[in-house]
Amino acid sequence: MFAYVGRRLLYSVPVVLIASFLLFWAVRTTFDPLAKLRGGQDQGAIARMTEVLGLDRSIPEQYWRWLTQFVTGDWGVSSRTAGSVHGLILPALGTTLQLIVWGVLAAALIALAVGVYSAVRQYSAGDLAFTGLSYLGVAMPPFWLGLILIQVLAAWPQEILGLADPPLYFVGLHSAQGGGPLDYLRHLVLPVLTLTVGLVASWSRFTRTTMLDALSSEYVRTARAKGVPRGRIVVRHALRTSLGPFVSITAVDAGLLFGGLVVTEQIFAIQGMGRLFLDSLLAGDVFVLVPWTLVIAVVVIVFNLLADIAYAVLDPRVRLR
């Protein structure tokens, strides 16, 4: 097992380096770090900053200089806020992590239950209903769903019941004056629900497919012929076989969510990675965009590595490959 993990770690190193260089090159050639200075026509300041930032060097030289500073903790200074990039990205990463942990956990449990039910009761009324709802969930735009949830679960109850505050909050993850677990929960429900609907829709269909393949396999038919109880066949044979692919796709999707919650975080005014990217992109803050892209690339690679490890744990045959 340690050899398997070691190989995956070694494979990840060149992937990180190649991905970071390509991202650095793309951002450097797309955005001009001195765009604000060029508007002022101060040639002396432009020349000084060009030398300070090393923009007169080749892209590989700029990349190596930036990478050595990055790994030592010097991520630069934001041109938008004049604050440390390190101090912007890490809190945003922690905020997004909270959404992903709760959203993925809830979506995984619901998707497994729905997928197993749909496979065991194939073509039943419940299966057909879940299938239709899953298509609706996949097709539903997150920005529209988020706004509908705010109206239905927050604005209307407050108006109808005459409450001073809505039962569920929809700005940030905490109140300005602070609060305990209940306050946190009231902020968390709507964005997590917005995130969960699409995940449940796609993951439940994936679970249903893998469960149907497992239930039609030879070892399941053999277990049935031997008189093994139906519940044991479903849980200990079919579901156990389906967990490997399910955990893999869950881990990969969770990694991608770190940079893909732009709409959800914007709707609910959550200061996470998605909103940080959007604000930096609109301001042309290249000093945030470059570290942001590398952090997301590393997170995606780490979650892919975790998916490989989890699959190897659930299916020992993978370790021999």
Tokens of 87: 């101090």
pLDDT at 198 exceeding the cut of 60? yes
Give the model's pLDDT for residue 243.
Answer: 86
User: What are the helix (H) ranges across the chain?
Assistant: 2-30, 35-40, 43-53, 59-71, 85-120, 125-139, 142-150, 156-161, 181-215, 218-225, 230-232, 240-257, 262-267, 273-283, 286-314
Same domain, 24 and 68: yes
The DSSP call for residue 260 is T
**Residue 255: closest CA among 294, 299, 298:** 299
321: pLDDT confidence band, cut at 50, 70 and 90? low
pLDDT at 313 exceeding the cut of 90? no
What is the DSSP track for 26-92?
HHHHH--TTHHHHHHT-HHHHHHHHHHHTTTS-HHHHHHHHHHHHHTT---B-TTTSSBHHHHHHHH
Same domain, 52 and 134: no
Same domain, 155 and 209: yes
Same domain, 128 and 51: no
Residue 150, domain CATH: 1.10.3720.10
Distance between CA 254 and CA 303 in Å, rounded? 7
Residue 307 resides in a domain: no
Please write the tens of the pLDDT for every residue from 222-266.
888 888 888 888 888 888 888 888 988 898 899 889 887 888 999
pLDDT at 127 exceeding the cut of 60? yes
The contacts of residue 40 (CB under 8 Å, 6+ apart) are none
Question: How many structural domains comprise the chain?
Answer: 2
Provide the domain limits for residue 13.
Answer: 1-73+316-321
Which segment of 46-55, 64-73, 148-157, 228-237 scores lowest on mean pLDDT?
46-55
